[in-house]
Chains A and B, each alone.
Chain A
Amino acid sequence: MNIAGPVSAMTLAERARRAAKVAAEFADQVDTEGRFPREGMDALKAERLMGVMIRPELGGEAASMTEIADLCAILGQACASTAMTYAMHQIQIASLADYAVGSAWHEAFLKRICDEQLLIASATSEAGIGGNLRNSICAVDLDGETARLEKNATVISYGAMADAIIVTSRRNADAPHSDQIATLFLKEQYSLERTSVWDTLGMRGTCSDGYIFKAEAPAEQILPKPFAEIAAQSMLAVSHLLWGALWYGIAADAVARSQAFVKAAARKSPGQTPPGALRLAEASNLLQQVKANVVAGLKQFEAAKGDADALNAMSFSVAMNNIKVGTSQMILTIINHCMLICGIAAYKNGTPFSLGRHLRDAHSAQLMISNDRILGNTSTMLLVNKQDTSLLG
Protein backbone atom coordinates (compact mmCIF):
# COMPACT_ATOMS: atom_id res chain seq x y z
CA MET A 1 0.00 0.00 0.00
CA ASN A 2 1.47 3.28 -1.01
CA ILE A 3 -0.89 5.80 0.47
CA ALA A 4 0.48 8.48 2.69
CA GLY A 5 -0.87 10.08 5.82
CA PRO A 6 -3.11 8.91 8.60
CA VAL A 7 -5.23 6.56 6.47
CA SER A 8 -2.37 4.16 5.73
CA ALA A 9 -2.36 2.41 9.08
CA MET A 10 -6.10 1.78 9.14
CA THR A 11 -8.09 -1.01 7.53
CA LEU A 12 -10.46 -0.23 4.69
CA ALA A 13 -13.43 -0.83 6.99
CA GLU A 14 -12.09 1.56 9.63
CA ARG A 15 -11.63 4.25 7.02
CA ALA A 16 -15.15 3.62 5.69
CA ARG A 17 -16.55 3.90 9.22
CA ARG A 18 -14.97 7.33 9.60
CA ALA A 19 -16.52 8.44 6.31
CA ALA A 20 -19.84 6.84 7.27
CA LYS A 21 -19.92 8.92 10.44
CA VAL A 22 -19.80 12.06 8.33
CA ALA A 23 -22.37 10.72 5.87
CA ALA A 24 -24.76 9.80 8.70
CA GLU A 25 -24.66 13.32 10.05
CA PHE A 26 -25.95 14.74 6.77
CA ALA A 27 -28.20 11.85 5.69
CA ASP A 28 -31.48 13.50 6.69
CA GLN A 29 -30.52 16.81 5.13
CA VAL A 30 -29.45 15.13 1.88
CA ASP A 31 -32.76 13.28 1.82
CA THR A 32 -34.95 16.29 2.62
CA GLU A 33 -33.24 18.57 0.14
CA GLY A 34 -32.68 15.87 -2.51
CA ARG A 35 -29.13 17.04 -2.89
CA PHE A 36 -25.85 15.28 -3.60
CA PRO A 37 -24.27 13.75 -0.46
CA ARG A 38 -21.26 16.02 -0.80
CA GLU A 39 -19.98 15.66 2.76
CA GLY A 40 -20.08 11.86 2.71
CA MET A 41 -18.45 11.65 -0.72
CA ASP A 42 -15.76 14.18 0.27
CA ALA A 43 -15.07 12.09 3.36
CA LEU A 44 -14.68 8.96 1.21
CA LYS A 45 -12.19 10.84 -0.96
CA ALA A 46 -10.33 12.11 2.11
CA GLU A 47 -10.04 8.47 3.21
CA ARG A 48 -8.66 7.68 -0.28
CA LEU A 49 -11.38 5.08 -0.82
CA MET A 50 -12.37 5.86 -4.43
CA GLY A 51 -9.75 3.73 -6.20
CA VAL A 52 -9.07 0.97 -3.67
CA MET A 53 -10.20 -1.85 -6.00
CA ILE A 54 -7.57 -0.86 -8.60
CA ARG A 55 -4.21 -2.68 -8.87
CA PRO A 56 -1.40 -1.31 -6.68
CA GLU A 57 0.78 -0.58 -9.75
CA LEU A 58 -1.81 1.99 -10.75
CA GLY A 59 -2.15 3.45 -7.27
CA GLY A 60 -4.91 1.28 -5.81
CA GLU A 61 -4.94 -1.27 -3.02
CA ALA A 62 -6.28 -4.34 -4.88
CA ALA A 63 -9.29 -4.53 -2.58
CA SER A 64 -11.49 -7.56 -3.25
CA MET A 65 -15.18 -7.40 -4.15
CA THR A 66 -15.93 -8.79 -0.69
CA GLU A 67 -14.09 -5.90 0.93
CA ILE A 68 -15.86 -3.36 -1.28
CA ALA A 69 -19.22 -4.94 -0.38
CA ASP A 70 -18.34 -4.56 3.28
CA LEU A 71 -17.69 -0.84 2.73
CA CYS A 72 -21.05 -0.51 0.95
CA ALA A 73 -22.81 -2.18 3.88
CA ILE A 74 -21.08 0.18 6.33
CA LEU A 75 -22.13 3.21 4.27
CA GLY A 76 -25.66 1.83 3.78
CA GLN A 77 -26.18 1.98 7.53
CA ALA A 78 -25.28 5.67 7.51
CA CYS A 79 -26.69 7.23 4.33
CA ALA A 80 -28.12 5.13 1.51
CA SER A 81 -27.52 7.84 -1.11
CA THR A 82 -23.82 8.01 -0.25
CA ALA A 83 -23.66 4.22 -0.24
CA MET A 84 -25.40 3.93 -3.62
CA THR A 85 -23.17 6.60 -5.16
CA TYR A 86 -20.10 4.78 -3.88
CA ALA A 87 -21.43 1.39 -5.03
CA MET A 88 -22.29 2.58 -8.54
CA HIS A 89 -18.84 4.16 -8.85
CA GLN A 90 -17.21 0.87 -7.82
CA ILE A 91 -19.32 -1.07 -10.34
CA GLN A 92 -17.82 1.11 -13.09
CA ILE A 93 -14.32 0.58 -11.71
CA ALA A 94 -14.81 -3.19 -11.68
CA SER A 95 -15.63 -3.06 -15.40
CA LEU A 96 -12.64 -0.85 -16.16
CA ALA A 97 -10.14 -2.67 -13.99
CA ASP A 98 -10.93 -6.10 -15.42
CA TYR A 99 -12.10 -5.41 -18.97
CA ALA A 100 -9.68 -2.75 -20.16
CA VAL A 101 -6.49 -4.54 -19.16
CA GLY A 102 -3.70 -3.66 -21.56
CA SER A 103 -5.45 -0.57 -22.89
CA ALA A 104 -2.95 2.19 -22.22
CA TRP A 105 -5.55 4.93 -22.18
CA HIS A 106 -7.78 3.19 -19.66
CA GLU A 107 -4.89 2.16 -17.42
CA ALA A 108 -3.65 5.74 -17.32
CA PHE A 109 -7.18 6.79 -16.40
CA LEU A 110 -7.38 4.19 -13.61
CA LYS A 111 -4.21 5.74 -12.21
CA ARG A 112 -5.87 9.15 -12.38
CA ILE A 113 -8.86 7.80 -10.42
CA CYS A 114 -6.49 6.84 -7.61
CA ASP A 115 -4.38 9.99 -7.75
CA GLU A 116 -7.25 12.44 -8.04
CA GLN A 117 -10.01 10.38 -6.34
CA LEU A 118 -12.30 10.80 -9.36
CA LEU A 119 -15.99 9.82 -9.39
CA ILE A 120 -17.35 7.74 -12.32
CA ALA A 121 -21.04 7.59 -13.32
CA SER A 122 -22.90 5.28 -15.68
CA ALA A 123 -25.48 5.80 -18.41
CA THR A 124 -27.06 2.54 -19.50
CA SER A 125 -30.78 3.39 -19.22
CA GLU A 126 -32.16 5.02 -22.35
CA ALA A 127 -35.50 6.44 -23.42
CA GLY A 128 -37.36 3.69 -25.29
CA ILE A 129 -35.32 0.92 -23.65
CA GLY A 130 -35.96 1.37 -19.92
CA GLY A 131 -33.95 -0.87 -17.64
CA ASN A 132 -32.91 -3.36 -20.31
CA LEU A 133 -29.18 -2.98 -19.87
CA ARG A 134 -28.38 -5.24 -22.81
CA ASN A 135 -30.05 -3.09 -25.44
CA SER A 136 -29.21 0.29 -26.86
CA ILE A 137 -30.81 2.55 -29.43
CA CYS A 138 -28.09 5.18 -29.63
CA ALA A 139 -24.97 4.35 -31.64
CA VAL A 140 -21.40 5.59 -31.69
CA ASP A 141 -20.49 7.50 -34.82
CA LEU A 142 -16.86 6.75 -35.63
CA ASP A 143 -15.20 9.37 -37.74
CA GLY A 144 -11.57 8.38 -38.19
CA GLU A 145 -10.14 8.42 -34.71
CA THR A 146 -13.05 10.32 -33.17
CA ALA A 147 -16.09 8.76 -31.48
CA ARG A 148 -19.26 10.83 -31.30
CA LEU A 149 -22.29 9.85 -29.27
CA GLU A 150 -25.66 11.31 -28.39
CA LYS A 151 -27.87 9.48 -25.90
CA ASN A 152 -31.28 10.23 -24.43
CA ALA A 153 -30.28 8.98 -20.99
CA THR A 154 -33.29 8.77 -18.69
CA VAL A 155 -31.40 8.27 -15.44
CA ILE A 156 -27.77 9.18 -14.72
CA SER A 157 -27.07 9.13 -11.01
CA TYR A 158 -24.86 12.04 -9.88
CA GLY A 159 -24.38 12.79 -13.61
CA ALA A 160 -23.78 16.47 -12.99
CA MET A 161 -21.23 15.75 -10.24
CA ALA A 162 -19.22 13.01 -11.97
CA ASP A 163 -15.74 13.40 -13.43
CA ALA A 164 -16.47 10.85 -16.15
CA ILE A 165 -19.38 8.74 -17.41
CA ILE A 166 -19.29 5.27 -18.96
CA VAL A 167 -21.98 5.17 -21.62
CA THR A 168 -23.38 2.13 -23.43
CA SER A 169 -24.41 2.33 -27.08
CA ARG A 170 -24.59 0.25 -30.23
CA ARG A 171 -21.20 -0.40 -31.83
CA ASN A 172 -22.19 1.64 -34.90
CA ALA A 173 -25.31 2.85 -36.68
CA ASP A 174 -25.71 -0.49 -38.53
CA ALA A 175 -25.28 -2.74 -35.49
CA PRO A 176 -28.24 -4.58 -33.93
CA HIS A 177 -29.55 -3.29 -30.56
CA SER A 178 -27.71 -5.97 -28.63
CA ASP A 179 -24.28 -5.37 -30.19
CA GLN A 180 -23.13 -2.86 -27.62
CA ILE A 181 -19.94 -1.14 -26.60
CA ALA A 182 -19.13 0.99 -23.57
CA THR A 183 -17.20 4.24 -23.87
CA LEU A 184 -15.64 6.28 -21.11
CA PHE A 185 -16.16 10.01 -21.63
CA LEU A 186 -14.44 12.66 -19.54
CA LYS A 187 -16.32 15.60 -18.10
CA GLU A 188 -14.73 18.05 -20.51
CA GLN A 189 -15.75 15.85 -23.46
CA TYR A 190 -19.52 15.87 -22.90
CA SER A 191 -22.46 18.18 -22.39
CA LEU A 192 -25.53 17.31 -20.33
CA GLU A 193 -28.84 18.90 -21.13
CA ARG A 194 -31.20 18.10 -18.28
CA THR A 195 -34.51 16.56 -19.35
CA SER A 196 -35.92 15.40 -16.01
CA VAL A 197 -35.44 16.13 -12.33
CA TRP A 198 -34.91 13.37 -9.76
CA ASP A 199 -37.63 14.31 -7.29
CA THR A 200 -38.33 10.83 -5.94
CA LEU A 201 -39.64 8.89 -2.99
CA GLY A 202 -36.18 7.76 -1.93
CA MET A 203 -32.50 7.57 -2.87
CA ARG A 204 -32.96 11.29 -3.29
CA GLY A 205 -29.31 12.17 -2.84
CA THR A 206 -28.25 10.14 -5.88
CA CYS A 207 -29.53 13.07 -7.98
CA SER A 208 -30.33 10.70 -10.82
CA ASP A 209 -31.58 13.31 -13.29
CA GLY A 210 -32.29 12.54 -16.94
CA TYR A 211 -30.15 14.13 -19.64
CA ILE A 212 -29.50 14.39 -23.31
CA PHE A 213 -25.88 13.34 -23.27
CA LYS A 214 -23.70 14.58 -26.15
CA ALA A 215 -20.02 13.73 -26.40
CA GLU A 216 -17.01 13.57 -28.61
CA ALA A 217 -13.79 11.77 -27.68
CA PRO A 218 -10.85 9.86 -29.15
CA ALA A 219 -11.95 6.36 -30.18
CA GLU A 220 -9.33 4.78 -27.90
CA GLN A 221 -11.66 5.59 -24.99
CA ILE A 222 -14.04 2.82 -26.11
CA LEU A 223 -13.61 -0.16 -23.78
CA PRO A 224 -11.79 -2.88 -25.71
CA LYS A 225 -14.19 -5.71 -24.78
CA PRO A 226 -17.77 -5.94 -26.09
CA PHE A 227 -20.26 -4.68 -23.51
CA ALA A 228 -22.12 -8.03 -23.65
CA GLU A 229 -19.07 -9.64 -22.10
CA ILE A 230 -18.58 -6.91 -19.50
CA ALA A 231 -22.26 -7.05 -18.51
CA ALA A 232 -22.42 -10.84 -18.31
CA GLN A 233 -19.14 -11.36 -16.50
CA SER A 234 -18.90 -8.31 -14.29
CA MET A 235 -21.48 -5.56 -14.26
CA LEU A 236 -24.62 -7.56 -13.50
CA ALA A 237 -23.06 -9.68 -10.78
CA VAL A 238 -21.14 -6.80 -9.21
CA SER A 239 -24.24 -4.57 -9.24
CA HIS A 240 -26.38 -7.16 -7.53
CA LEU A 241 -23.73 -7.92 -4.91
CA LEU A 242 -22.85 -4.32 -4.06
CA TRP A 243 -26.47 -3.18 -4.12
CA GLY A 244 -27.39 -6.19 -1.97
CA ALA A 245 -24.67 -5.21 0.49
CA LEU A 246 -25.85 -1.63 0.85
CA TRP A 247 -29.51 -2.67 1.01
CA TYR A 248 -28.47 -4.99 3.82
CA GLY A 249 -26.95 -1.88 5.44
CA ILE A 250 -30.25 0.04 5.25
CA ALA A 251 -32.14 -2.85 6.84
CA ALA A 252 -29.43 -3.42 9.45
CA ASP A 253 -29.71 0.19 10.60
CA ALA A 254 -33.50 -0.13 10.81
CA VAL A 255 -33.11 -3.23 12.97
CA ALA A 256 -30.54 -1.45 15.14
CA ARG A 257 -32.98 1.41 15.68
CA SER A 258 -35.82 -0.91 16.62
CA GLN A 259 -33.57 -2.87 18.94
CA ALA A 260 -32.72 0.37 20.72
CA PHE A 261 -36.45 1.07 20.97
CA VAL A 262 -37.18 -2.34 22.49
CA LYS A 263 -34.24 -2.04 24.88
CA ALA A 264 -35.41 1.36 26.10
CA ALA A 265 -38.88 -0.10 26.72
CA ALA A 266 -37.36 -3.04 28.60
CA ARG A 267 -35.38 -0.71 30.83
CA LYS A 268 -38.49 1.24 31.71
CA SER A 269 -40.39 -1.82 32.87
CA PRO A 270 -37.95 -4.39 34.23
CA GLY A 271 -39.23 -7.94 34.39
CA GLN A 272 -41.60 -7.48 31.48
CA THR A 273 -40.75 -8.35 27.89
CA PRO A 274 -41.69 -5.37 25.71
CA PRO A 275 -44.35 -6.08 23.08
CA GLY A 276 -41.97 -5.39 20.19
CA ALA A 277 -39.40 -7.94 21.34
CA LEU A 278 -40.89 -10.89 19.49
CA ARG A 279 -41.13 -8.97 16.25
CA LEU A 280 -37.54 -7.81 16.73
CA ALA A 281 -36.53 -11.46 16.91
CA GLU A 282 -38.35 -12.01 13.63
CA ALA A 283 -36.67 -9.00 12.02
CA SER A 284 -33.28 -10.23 13.19
CA ASN A 285 -34.03 -13.62 11.66
CA LEU A 286 -34.89 -12.06 8.29
CA LEU A 287 -31.86 -9.75 8.40
CA GLN A 288 -29.62 -12.77 8.85
CA GLN A 289 -31.13 -14.27 5.69
CA VAL A 290 -30.31 -11.12 3.72
CA LYS A 291 -26.76 -11.17 5.04
CA ALA A 292 -26.31 -14.86 4.29
CA ASN A 293 -27.64 -14.35 0.78
CA VAL A 294 -25.15 -11.57 0.01
CA VAL A 295 -22.22 -13.32 1.67
CA ALA A 296 -22.88 -16.57 -0.20
CA GLY A 297 -23.06 -14.60 -3.46
CA LEU A 298 -19.76 -12.89 -2.73
CA LYS A 299 -18.17 -16.25 -2.05
CA GLN A 300 -19.46 -17.58 -5.36
CA PHE A 301 -18.24 -14.46 -7.18
CA GLU A 302 -14.75 -14.62 -5.68
CA ALA A 303 -14.51 -18.31 -6.61
CA ALA A 304 -15.54 -17.60 -10.20
CA LYS A 305 -13.47 -14.44 -10.61
CA GLY A 306 -11.06 -14.56 -13.54
CA ASP A 307 -12.69 -17.72 -14.90
CA ALA A 308 -14.71 -16.57 -17.90
CA ASP A 309 -16.53 -19.91 -18.19
CA ALA A 310 -17.67 -19.84 -14.57
CA LEU A 311 -18.77 -16.19 -14.85
CA ASN A 312 -20.65 -16.91 -18.08
CA ALA A 313 -22.41 -19.97 -16.72
CA MET A 314 -26.16 -19.73 -16.55
CA SER A 315 -26.22 -21.08 -13.01
CA PHE A 316 -24.05 -18.15 -11.96
CA SER A 317 -26.45 -15.60 -13.52
CA VAL A 318 -29.41 -17.32 -11.90
CA ALA A 319 -27.70 -17.15 -8.50
CA MET A 320 -26.83 -13.44 -8.86
CA ASN A 321 -30.35 -12.61 -10.07
CA ASN A 322 -31.77 -14.43 -7.07
CA ILE A 323 -29.64 -12.36 -4.72
CA LYS A 324 -30.97 -9.15 -6.22
CA VAL A 325 -34.62 -10.15 -6.16
CA GLY A 326 -34.39 -11.81 -2.75
CA THR A 327 -32.59 -9.02 -0.89
CA SER A 328 -34.64 -6.24 -2.48
CA GLN A 329 -37.89 -7.84 -1.33
CA MET A 330 -36.72 -8.95 2.07
CA ILE A 331 -35.45 -5.56 3.22
CA LEU A 332 -38.94 -4.13 2.77
CA THR A 333 -40.43 -6.83 5.01
CA ILE A 334 -37.72 -6.19 7.60
CA ILE A 335 -38.15 -2.42 7.67
CA ASN A 336 -41.91 -2.89 7.88
CA HIS A 337 -41.39 -5.09 10.96
CA CYS A 338 -39.20 -2.35 12.43
CA MET A 339 -41.97 0.19 11.76
CA LEU A 340 -44.40 -1.94 13.74
CA ILE A 341 -41.88 -2.26 16.57
CA CYS A 342 -41.19 1.46 16.94
CA GLY A 343 -44.68 2.68 15.95
CA ILE A 344 -45.22 6.40 15.66
CA ALA A 345 -41.62 7.06 16.71
CA ALA A 346 -40.63 5.36 13.43
CA TYR A 347 -43.34 7.00 11.36
CA LYS A 348 -42.38 10.48 12.56
CA ASN A 349 -39.36 12.24 11.12
CA GLY A 350 -36.64 13.51 13.42
CA THR A 351 -36.81 10.92 16.22
CA PRO A 352 -33.93 8.52 17.02
CA PHE A 353 -36.24 5.76 15.71
CA SER A 354 -37.41 7.42 12.46
CA LEU A 355 -37.60 4.95 9.58
CA GLY A 356 -39.24 6.97 6.82
CA ARG A 357 -35.98 7.51 4.97
CA HIS A 358 -35.01 3.85 5.30
CA LEU A 359 -38.36 2.69 3.98
CA ARG A 360 -38.36 5.12 1.06
CA ASP A 361 -34.73 4.39 0.13
CA ALA A 362 -35.40 0.65 0.35
CA HIS A 363 -38.33 0.91 -2.04
CA SER A 364 -35.95 1.75 -4.90
CA ALA A 365 -34.38 -1.70 -4.66
CA GLN A 366 -37.08 -3.66 -6.48
CA LEU A 367 -37.31 -1.06 -9.27
CA MET A 368 -33.61 -0.55 -9.82
CA ILE A 369 -33.69 -2.89 -12.77
CA SER A 370 -37.22 -4.10 -12.26
CA ASN A 371 -37.54 -7.34 -10.30
CA ASP A 372 -40.17 -8.44 -12.81
CA ARG A 373 -37.68 -7.98 -15.63
CA ILE A 374 -35.03 -9.92 -13.72
CA LEU A 375 -37.47 -12.71 -12.84
CA GLY A 376 -38.38 -12.83 -16.53
CA ASN A 377 -34.72 -13.35 -17.46
CA THR A 378 -34.26 -15.96 -14.75
CA SER A 379 -37.34 -17.84 -15.88
CA THR A 380 -35.93 -18.03 -19.42
CA MET A 381 -32.66 -19.45 -18.11
CA LEU A 382 -34.49 -21.99 -15.96
CA LEU A 383 -35.94 -23.50 -19.13
CA VAL A 384 -32.53 -25.04 -19.76
CA ASN A 385 -30.44 -24.53 -16.64
CA LYS A 386 -29.78 -27.57 -14.47
CA GLN A 387 -30.51 -26.91 -10.84
CA ASP A 388 -27.62 -27.53 -8.48
CA THR A 389 -29.29 -29.26 -5.55
CA SER A 390 -26.17 -29.60 -3.44
CA LEU A 391 -25.92 -27.59 -0.22
CA LEU A 392 -22.35 -26.42 -0.65
CA GLY A 393 -21.76 -26.42 -4.42
Chain B
Amino acid sequence: MNSTIRELLSKHGGLPIAVDKLADADDLYEAGLSSFASVQLMLALEEEFDVEFPENLLNRKSFSSIVSIADALSQITDDRQVA
Protein backbone atom coordinates (compact mmCIF):
# COMPACT_ATOMS: atom_id res chain seq x y z
CA MET B 1 0.00 0.00 0.00
CA ASN B 2 2.79 2.41 0.98
CA SER B 3 4.42 2.20 -2.44
CA THR B 4 1.15 3.14 -4.16
CA ILE B 5 0.75 6.03 -1.73
CA ARG B 6 4.29 7.15 -2.53
CA GLU B 7 3.59 6.97 -6.24
CA LEU B 8 0.44 9.10 -5.92
CA LEU B 9 2.18 11.46 -3.54
CA SER B 10 4.92 12.16 -6.04
CA LYS B 11 2.32 12.69 -8.79
CA HIS B 12 -0.12 14.91 -6.85
CA GLY B 13 1.71 16.12 -3.74
CA GLY B 14 3.58 18.93 -5.46
CA LEU B 15 6.41 18.52 -2.94
CA PRO B 16 9.61 20.48 -3.50
CA ILE B 17 11.66 17.35 -2.64
CA ALA B 18 11.69 13.82 -4.08
CA VAL B 19 9.27 11.49 -2.33
CA ASP B 20 11.89 8.74 -1.91
CA LYS B 21 13.86 11.13 0.32
CA LEU B 22 10.96 10.97 2.82
CA ALA B 23 10.59 8.36 5.54
CA ASP B 24 7.14 6.85 6.04
CA ALA B 25 6.68 8.76 9.30
CA ASP B 26 7.98 12.15 8.09
CA ASP B 27 5.62 15.10 8.40
CA LEU B 28 4.28 15.83 4.92
CA TYR B 29 3.19 19.36 5.77
CA GLU B 30 6.71 20.18 6.91
CA ALA B 31 7.88 18.70 3.60
CA GLY B 32 5.68 21.25 1.81
CA LEU B 33 2.32 19.51 1.25
CA SER B 34 -0.26 22.26 0.69
CA SER B 35 -3.91 21.83 1.55
CA PHE B 36 -4.78 22.06 -2.15
CA ALA B 37 -2.33 19.25 -2.95
CA SER B 38 -3.63 17.16 -0.06
CA VAL B 39 -7.11 17.30 -1.58
CA GLN B 40 -5.76 16.30 -4.99
CA LEU B 41 -3.93 13.44 -3.34
CA MET B 42 -7.08 12.41 -1.51
CA LEU B 43 -9.03 12.34 -4.78
CA ALA B 44 -6.33 10.23 -6.40
CA LEU B 45 -6.34 7.81 -3.45
CA GLU B 46 -10.13 7.52 -3.60
CA GLU B 47 -9.91 6.70 -7.29
CA GLU B 48 -7.01 4.26 -6.91
CA PHE B 49 -8.37 2.32 -3.94
CA ASP B 50 -12.02 2.75 -4.91
CA VAL B 51 -12.93 4.17 -1.51
CA GLU B 52 -14.48 7.33 -0.17
CA PHE B 53 -12.96 9.15 2.78
CA PRO B 54 -15.60 9.58 5.49
CA GLU B 55 -16.06 12.92 7.25
CA ASN B 56 -14.14 11.82 10.37
CA LEU B 57 -10.99 11.20 8.29
CA LEU B 58 -11.18 14.40 6.27
CA ASN B 59 -8.69 16.33 8.32
CA ARG B 60 -5.07 17.37 8.45
CA LYS B 61 -4.03 14.50 10.67
CA SER B 62 -5.03 11.79 8.15
CA PHE B 63 -2.64 13.32 5.63
CA SER B 64 0.23 14.26 7.90
CA SER B 65 2.47 11.30 6.89
CA ILE B 66 2.57 8.25 4.65
CA VAL B 67 1.92 6.12 7.73
CA SER B 68 -1.18 8.10 8.66
CA ILE B 69 -2.53 7.95 5.09
CA ALA B 70 -2.05 4.18 5.13
CA ASP B 71 -3.77 4.00 8.54
CA ALA B 72 -6.70 6.01 7.25
CA LEU B 73 -7.00 3.82 4.16
CA SER B 74 -6.91 0.57 6.12
CA GLN B 75 -9.48 1.98 8.53
CA ILE B 76 -11.81 2.61 5.59
CA THR B 77 -11.25 -0.81 4.03
CA ASP B 78 -11.68 -2.53 7.45
CA ASP B 79 -14.97 -0.71 7.97
CA ARG B 80 -16.08 -1.86 4.55
CA GLN B 81 -15.37 -5.50 5.41
CA VAL B 82 -17.34 -5.22 8.63
CA ALA B 83 -20.29 -3.57 6.94
Contact = CB atoms under 8 A, between A and B. Distances in A.
A383 B32 contact: no
Interface string B3-41: 000000000000110000000000001111111100100
Contacts of B29: 178-179, 226, 228
Q: Which of B29, B32, B36, B56 has the most CB of A within 10 A?
A: B29
A385 B58 CA distance: 7
Contacts of A226: 29-30
Chain A contact residues (Cβ within 8 angstroms of B): what range? Answer: 20 to 34
Contacts of B43: 383-384
A176 B61 contact: no
Contact of B39 (A176, A229, A313, A383): A383
Given A309-B59, A309-B61, A315-B58, A384 B46 contact: yes
Contact of A312 (B15, B16, B36, B61): B61
Contacts of B34: 134, 178
A383 B55 CA distance: 13
Contacts of B16: 176
Contacts of A312: 59-61
Interface string A161-173: 0000000000100
Nearest to A229: B60
A383 B43 CA distance: 8
B66 interface: no
B73 interface: no
B9 to A, nearest CB: 14
A232 interface: yes
B69 interface: no
Contact of A384 (B39, B56, B60): B39
Main secondary structure of the interface of B (DSSP, over half): loop
A228 B60 contact: yes
Contacts of A381: 35, 39
Contact of A313 (B36, B42, B59): B59
A363 B65 CA distance: 41
Contacts of B39: 380-381, 383-384
A313 B58 contact: yes
A148 interface: no
B47 to A, nearest CB: 11
A225 to B, nearest CB: 12
Contact of B30 (A134, A179, A386, A388): A179
Contacts of A296: none
Contact of B60 (A179, A232, A386): A232
A175 interface: yes
Given A226-B30, A228-B29, A380 B35 contact: yes
Interface in A190-241: 226, 228-229, 232
B65 to A, nearest CB: 14
A164 to B, nearest CB: 26
A314 B59 contact: yes
Contacts of A229: 60
Tell which of A309, A384, A386, A388 has the most Cβ of chain B within 10 Å.
A384
Nearest to B31: A176
Contacts of A384: 39, 42-43, 46, 53, 58
A45 interface: no
Nearest to B55: A386
Given A226-B30, A228-B29, A377 B35 contact: yes
Contacts of B58: 313-315, 384-386
A177 interface: yes
7 contacts: A171-B30, A175-B30, A176-B32, A178-B34, A232-B60, A309-B61, A377-B36
Nearest 5 pairs of A and B residues by beta carbon: A176-B32, A312-B59, A314-B58, A312-B60, A179-B30
Interface of A: 134, 171, 175-179, 226, 228-229, 232, 308-309, 312-315, 377, 380-381, 383-386, 388
